[in-house]
């Protein structure tokens, strides 16, 4: 959706949202998850925080601004993309490579953020890089009663211990420094184990899969070399491969060199709401936009709200939803008139 500006040759503003949501375990919900039922002033629905509320807030804020008869310097585009919840590889990742996207001439983009449990708003100018890695540990197959050499179980134990030790280091950093948030450290989680056919047969291979989110401070080459060394130390023929391996993406500047940041912050300051700047802990489509060299912030105008994305009974107070529309009525004119 496009609202042309007074000076359409200027770089445009993109308000992005994703249409897809994660699946539900419907029996665990108090209300039908796709009905968006309002109970005692609270909306219960899958995607109400992540991120259909923001998509509708964009549209309603634009409708209100158009009704007032105002116009802005810069053209505003709204995009609604698929596949964000499964990595965005067939959604925004491909869209930014198209001629259509290039013609949009985007100078600045907004995308989803996270709800704040406090009075402030959270805004994110960067995010960690996602690595989904499989470590494959082959070994000698045989009877489960024997102690055969070249054992895949021993190898996979070594690998798991190394990754989990590193996970513990990140936990300790957070424990020792209350100023740090989850987005400031590298997170590692063992997510899948594969191997074996039955209990009395030693398998010929076992595989451990890890979800890694690399902090901005990590040297990616050194980190991968560390994994290579672990594989060598674990035993013969241990290998690894990636299901996903994101490159490092520079954060969007949040200083005087970024006029969009100044306009965004000034609009929120005008509302007398404090902003807390963070590194996004998960992954959003904005990383593909930033990778193209476009400035982007992740922001959801949801406060006094416990984050509940992907959870059972995902919910949002109607009052918070409506306040967010008013917030965009301030932000959109500010960034579109830069």
Nearest-angstrom CA–CA distance, 60 and 53:
10
Contact 159, 137 (CB under 8 A): yes
- CA contacts within 13 A on the Cβ side of 115: 24
Residue 135 has which token pair?
A: 């470590």
251 contacts 216 by C-beta, under 8 angstroms: yes
Q: Give residue for tokens 């601004």.
A: 65
Asked about 20 being catalytic, the answer comes back as: yes
The DSSP secondary-structure symbol of 59 reads H
Give the number of other Cβ atoms within 10 Å of residue 86's Cβ: 11
Active-site residue, selected from the candidate residues 83, 84, 285, 329:
84
Distance separating alpha carbons of residues 145 and 175, to the nearest angstrom: 43
Collapsing DSSP states into helix, strand and coil, what is residue 91? coil
- Specify the DSSP element, H or E, that contains 147: none
How far is CA 19 from each of CA 46, 283, 305, 323, rounded to the nearest angstrom? 11, 15, 22, 22
Q: How many CB atoms lie within 10 A of CB 216?
A: 16
Beta strands in the chain (DSSP E): 2-3, 12-18, 37-39, 42-44, 76-81, 106-111, 121-127, 129-138, 142-143, 187-195, 201-202, 205-214, 239-245, 275-280, 295-299, 315-317
**What residues pair up with 121 in beta bridges, in sequence order?**
275
CB under 8 Å to 186, separation ≥6 — which residues? 128, 166, 170, 212, 213, 214, 215, 218
Catalytic positions: 20, 84
């Amino acid at each position: 959706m496009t609202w042309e500006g007074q000076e359409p040759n200027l770089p445009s503003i993109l308000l992005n949202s994703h249409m897809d949501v994660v699946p539900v375990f419907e029996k665990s919900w108090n209300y039908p998850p796709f009905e968006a039922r309002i109970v005692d002033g609270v909306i219960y629905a899958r995607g109400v925080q992540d991120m259909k509320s923001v998509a509708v807030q964009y549209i309603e804020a634009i409708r209100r601004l158009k009704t007032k008869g105002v116009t802005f310097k810069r053209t505003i585009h709204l995009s609604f993309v698929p596949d964000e919840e499964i990595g965005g590889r067939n959604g925004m990742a491909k869209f930014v490579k198209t001629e259509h996207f290039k013609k949009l001439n985007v100078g600045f983009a907004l995308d989803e953020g996270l709800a704040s449990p406090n009075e402030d708003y959270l805004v994110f100018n960067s995010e960690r890089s996602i690595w989904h890695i499989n470590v494959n540990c082959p070994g000698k197959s045989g009877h489960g009663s024997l102690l055969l050499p070249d054992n895949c179980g021993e190898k996979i134990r070594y690998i798991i211990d190394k990754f989990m030790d590193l996970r513990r280091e990140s936990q300790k950093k957070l424990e020792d420094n209350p100023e740090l948030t989850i987005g400031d450290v590298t997170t590692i989680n063992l997510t899948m184990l594969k191997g074996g056919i039955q209990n009395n047969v030693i398998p010929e291979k076992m595989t451990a899969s890890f979800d890694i989110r690399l902090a901005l401070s990590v040297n990616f080459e050194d980190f991968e070399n560390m994994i290579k060394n672990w594989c060598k130390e674990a035993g013969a023929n241990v290998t690894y491969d990636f299901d996903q391996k994101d490159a490092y993406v520079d954060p969007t500047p949040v200083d005087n060199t970024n006029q969009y940041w100044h306009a965004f912050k000034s609009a929120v300051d005008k509302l007398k709401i404090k902003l807390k700047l963070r590194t996004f802990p998960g992954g959003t489509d904005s990383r593909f936009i930033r990778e193209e060299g476009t400035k982007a912030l992740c922001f959801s105008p949801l406060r006094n709200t416990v984050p509940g994305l992907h959870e059972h009974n995902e919910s949002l107070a109607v009052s918070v939803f409506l306040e967010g529309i008013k917030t965009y009525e301030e932000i959109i004119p500010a960034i579109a008139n830069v």
